[in-house]
Amino acid sequence: MSQSHVYPVNPEQASHSLIDKAGYQRMYEQSINDPETFWGEQAEQFLGFFQPWSKVLSGDFSKADVSWFKDAKLNACWNCVDRHLPQRADQTALIWEGDDPADSLPITYRDLHLAVCRLANVLKQRGVKKGDRVCIYMPMIPEAVYAMLACARIGAIHSVVFGGFSPDAIKDRILDSDCQSVITANQGIRGGKVIALKDNVDKALANCPNVHSVIVVKRTNAEVSFKQGRDVWYHDAIDQVDDQCAAEVMDAEDPLFILYTSGSTGKPKGVLHTTAGYLLSAAISHKYIFDYHEGDVFWCSADVGWVTGHSYIVYGPLCNGATSLVFEGVPTYPDASRFWQVIDKHQVTIFYTAPTALRALMSMGNEPVQATSRQSLRLLGSVGEPINPEAWEWYYNVVGEQRCPIVDTWWQTETGASMISPLAGVTDLKPGSATLPFFGVKPELLDADGNIITGAGKGNLVITQSWPSQIRTVFGDHQRCVDTYFTAYPGYYFTGDSARRDEDGYYWIIGRVDDVINVSGHRLGTAEIESALVLHPKVAEAAVVGFPHDIKGQAVYAYVTLMLGVEESDALRKELVAFVAGEIGAFARPDIIQFAPGLPKTRSGKIMRRILRKIAANETDNLGDTSTLADPSVVEQLIANRHNR
Ligand code: WT7
């Protein structure tokens, strides 16, 4: 990368950023060399405790067995709400912006406190206790945030399921963590379209006998069916309870939430995060990466159904007493100016979104951006997938008018908070690079034999020591946590990503090295889509890979072998696409289905995905070694019939 591609920190920004380059260096070194002193001091600054810890860090990282802030007592909801009441009861905590531009609502910290207390009391009244799991399946409305915080307040563990998941996917997640209560809405509205949330929940619950309580927010006027004794309207229930509810005293290592995410094998994993470490990482990263100052209006455009929404709509900003914008809609409704109109309307100062949204908007030209002012903006962020330099430049030049630094934040559901990212106003930027590690994060690149690569180079990205918001376990299956993250390279946390490090020590995330794909920022396991396809009675076998897509980043390419005698047709293709949407969710729909009478397999029967990936990407001139294939002629057939032309 040539030096002309470096965007040095602009001196004006540097003059009011929280720290400078030397400050970052000093804090970073302390965080790595003396993590206990560093994190102890940060915990005192960022969190309020009911009882102090006896030891900052203990346990064995290599066994995924760590404990942060042993014996400390606190409550995450209290930290995000009650703690702020003395100084900021009248400050806006949440700005809700509805799907319809005519709908918006400011919610103060006082309002938030009362709403959360009421819902917490409803949960208690309906038998939810500390340690119980609660499924939240909601549109992007304030009640989604209330629901998360109400769970945290009484010590229940929330499991938010993204509103785009199908009934089957909801059912799997409810059963896996044995959620006995659900909080949902009758319907959701996104981009002018209605989403049948309560219907989906009802379908899911047909196979979830343990669920005894469903609380339903009335988002639209639509009637929905209610099961007597099990279902209640949110508005009726909160009317009948007190608006005060003491926050439960929780241990630092008590679980805060479970969030399901896809891996390369098996069913989605319930990633479990605990209270103190998670909250501290969310808060400190929100402050330093986004150079958060009092008075900022912070907007993370993610959905609370993903970890980005957990950490940067809810826990990070609210823990810091910020104003956080909750957006119900989509970037292109009613038109392609929507993001920028919302920024003007609410005077957003910090905006955090995904490359896929930027690429989609970029393809619609500059006019929808330039029709708005965006003068309030001082900082931009990117998350979820590598941002290609073209999209970065567009974001920087057109959206930010060369005034706003871009923080490209690399992290994962499992890491809880950003791990590699610039600090706004501190780090010089290179388009496409997530730059340098955050406090407490010590990355390394390993070669195929597990040796550490020093200096510039490329390898598998691992983290070498514990950080406060690291995954604690996979719910109900600790061995799976150890096997997935701590076994490939003993002693290290393996991210599943590969990366390059340049001469300046900057990291460039290349992408997943496992069978996980990233479609429009949604993480999908190819194995999950394959399992869905083979459930269809006409499908004998399926192999799914990702292929490059201009807007989505990656798209889904499915090779499908039909049962003997089943006729190939476009109608069947459509049927299979709809079938996957029904099994997982619309966002997992294959973009291309190629009927494949044979798949490239080794003599031991293993599908050679490397070859399938190349055919899907149209890179067929260099397929590599195919001599181990049981039947090499299969490959020519697949190439002749490929669909991505
Ligand atoms: C995977 C994690 C981070 C929260 C949202 C996604 C990819 C994420 C970046 C980035 C390049 C990125 C990685 C990672 N990823 N951020 N800034 N640059 N790649 O969380 O669903 O758990 O997905 O997203 O491949 O492993 P997730």
384 CA distance to ligand 1 middle (Å): 4
Among protein residues, the one with the nearest Cα to ligand 1's atom 17 is: 410
Yes or no: say if 319 and 80 are a contact pair by the CB < 8 Å rule. yes
User: Does 467 count as an annotated binding residue?
Assistant: no
Strand partners, 353: 382
pLDDT at residue 642 in the model: 87
State both tokens at 337.
């100016």
What are 220-276's pLDDT values in tens digits?
999 999 999 999 999 999 999 999 999 999 999 999 999 999 988 888 999 999 999
Query: Could you give the strand order of the β-sheet that contains 457-463, starting from the edge strand earlier in sequence?
Result: 452-453, 443-446, 457-463, 493-501, 507-512
Instruction: Examine residue 317 and say whether the peptide bond preceding it is cis (omega within 30 degrees of 0).
Output: no
CA 407/CA 331 separation, integer angstroms: 20
Question: What are the CB-based long-range contacts (under 8 Å, 24+) for 625-628?
Answer: 626/600, 628/602, 628/603
Question: Cα separation of 357 and 547, whole Å?
Answer: 18
User: Looking at residue 5, what is its pLDDT?
Assistant: 85
230 three-class SS: coil
Express each pLDDT in 536-577 by its tens digit: 999 999 999 999 999 999 999 999 999 999 999 999 999 999
Residue 457, strand partner residues: 501
Listing DSSP states for 83-137 in one string gives GGHHHHTTSEEEEEE-SSTT-EEEEEHHHHHHHHHHHHHHHHHTT--TT-EEEEE
Give 383 Cα–ligand 1 centroid separation in angstroms: 7
Confidence of residue 623 (pLDDT cuts 50, 70, 90): confident
Domains 11-108+248-484+494-500 and 520-641 share a fold: no
- Read off the tokens for 570: 């476009």
Give yes or no for residue 597 having a pLDDT over 50.
Answer: yes
**In whole angstroms, what is the distance from residue 86 CA to residue 357 CA?**
39
- Is 504 labelled a binding residue? no
Please enumerate in sequence order all residues whose Cβ is within 8 A of that of 134, keeping only pairs 6 or more positions apart, or say none: 123, 128, 147, 151, 156, 157, 158, 159, 179, 181, 182, 183
- Listed in sequence order, the DSSP H helices in 387-506 are 389-394, 478-485
| Residue ID of nearest Cα to ligand 1 atom 12 | 385
Question: What is the best residue among 509, 517, 554 to mutate for testing ligand 1's pocket, by most ligand atoms within 8 Å of CB?
Answer: 509
| Whether the Cβ atoms of residue 215 and residue 183 lie closer than 8 Å to each other | yes
List, in sequence order, the alpha helices (H) in 492-631: 526-534, 570-583, 609-616
Closest CA to 30 of 454, 493, 442: 442
Residue that wins the pLDDT comparison between 602 and 199: 199
| Segment 29-59, tens digit of pLDDT | 999 999 999 999 999 999 999 999 999 999 9
Whether the pLDDT of residue 432 is over 60: the answer is yes
Q: Which of 164-173, 437-446, 630-639 has the lowest mean pLDDT?
A: 630-639
Spell out a b/e string for 92-125, using b for 16 or more CB atoms within 10 Å of the CB, else e.
Answer: bbbbbbbbeeeebeebbbbbbbbbbbbbbbbbbe
Residues 312/286, Cβ–Cβ less than 8 Å? yes
Closest CA to 348 of 80, 92, 77: 92
**Segment 84-120, tens digit of pLDDT:** 999 999 999 999 999 999 999 999 999 999 999 999 9
Q: What is the mean pLDDT of residues 200-226?
A: 98
Index of the ligand 1 atom closest to the CA of residue 521: 6
Cα separation of 454 and 444, whole Å?
Answer: 8
Can you name the CATH fold of 520-641?
Answer: GMP Synthetase; Chain A, domain 3 (3.30.300)
CA 462 to centroid of ligand 1, rounded, Å: 14
Compute the distance from residue 65 Cα to the ligand 1 centre, in Å.
24
The answer to whether 16 and 39 have CB atoms below 8 angstroms apart is no
pLDDT given at position 468: 98
409 is in an annotated binding site: yes
Which residues are CB-contacts of 437 (< 8 A; sequence separation ≥ 6)?
28, 419, 420, 443, 507
The band of 632, judged by pLDDT with boundaries at 50, 70 and 90, is confident
Task: Give domain limits for the chain.
Answer: 11-108+248-484+494-500, 520-641
Query: Could you tell me which of 324, 327, 280, 274 has the C-alpha nearest to residue 303?
Result: 327
- Range 369-391 average pLDDT: 97
| Cα–Cα distance for residue pair 411/420, rounded to 1 Å | 7
What ligand 1 atom has the least distance to the C-alpha of 408?
A: 17
Looking at every residue in the chain, the average pLDDT score rounds to 96
Dist CA 509 CA 410 (whole Å): 8
531 is known to lie in a ligand binding site: no
pLDDT bracket for residue 379 (50, 70, 90): very high
Note the pLDDT of residue 1: 45
Mutate which of 301, 303, 410, 587 for ligand 1 pocket (most atoms within 8 A of beta carbon): 410
Separation of CA 275 and ligand 1 centre (Å): 22
CA distances to 22, 283, 376, 604 from 45, in Å: 21, 10, 28, 57
Tell me what pLDDT residue 266 has.
82
| pLDDT tens figures, 317-339 | 999 999 999 999 999 999 999 99
CA 412 to ligand 1 center in whole angstroms:
5
Q: To test the ligand 1 pocket, which listed residue (485, 518, 524) has its Cβ within 8 A of the most ligand atoms?
A: 518
Is 190 annotated to bind ligand?
yes
413 lines ligand 1 (CB under 6 A): yes
For the question of an ipTM over 0.85, the answer is yes
Backbone angles phi, psi at 227, to 5 degrees: -100, 120
Q: Can you say how many angstroms the Cα of residue 395 is from the centroid of all Cα atoms in its chain? A: 21
pLDDT band at 621; cut points 50, 70, 90: confident
Ligand 1 proximity of 421 Cβ (cutoff 6 Å): no
State the pLDDT confidence band at 2, using cuts at 50, 70 and 90.
very low
Helices 609-616 & 633-640 angle (0-180, nearest 10)? 20
Residue 350: alpha-carbon gap to chain centroid: 18
The predicted structure's pLDDT at residue 89: 98
The SS3 assignment for 54 reads: coil
Tell me what pLDDT residue 326 has. Answer: 99
Residues 594-600 have a mean pLDDT of: 94
Per-residue pLDDT, 644: 66
| Across 463-475, average pLDDT | 98
Token representation of residue 338? 């929507």
Record the tokens describing residue 193, joined without a space.
């379209």
| DSSP-derived secondary structure letter, 399 | I
Q: Which CATH superfamily is domain 11-108+248-484+494-500 in?
A: ANL, N-terminal domain (3.40.50.12780)
What mean pLDDT is predicted for residues 72-86?
A: 99
Going from the C-alpha of 219 to that of each of 143, 389, 524, the distances in angstroms are 10, 40, 29
**Any known ligand binding at 78?**
no
523 marked among binding-site residues: yes
> Percent of the chain having pLDDT more than 70?
99
pLDDT at position 3 is 44
Rg, C-alpha atoms of the chain: 24
Taking CA atoms only, the protein residue closest to ligand 1 atom 2 is 412
Q: Which of 440-444, 533-537, 575-579, 638-642 has the lowest mean pLDDT?
A: 638-642
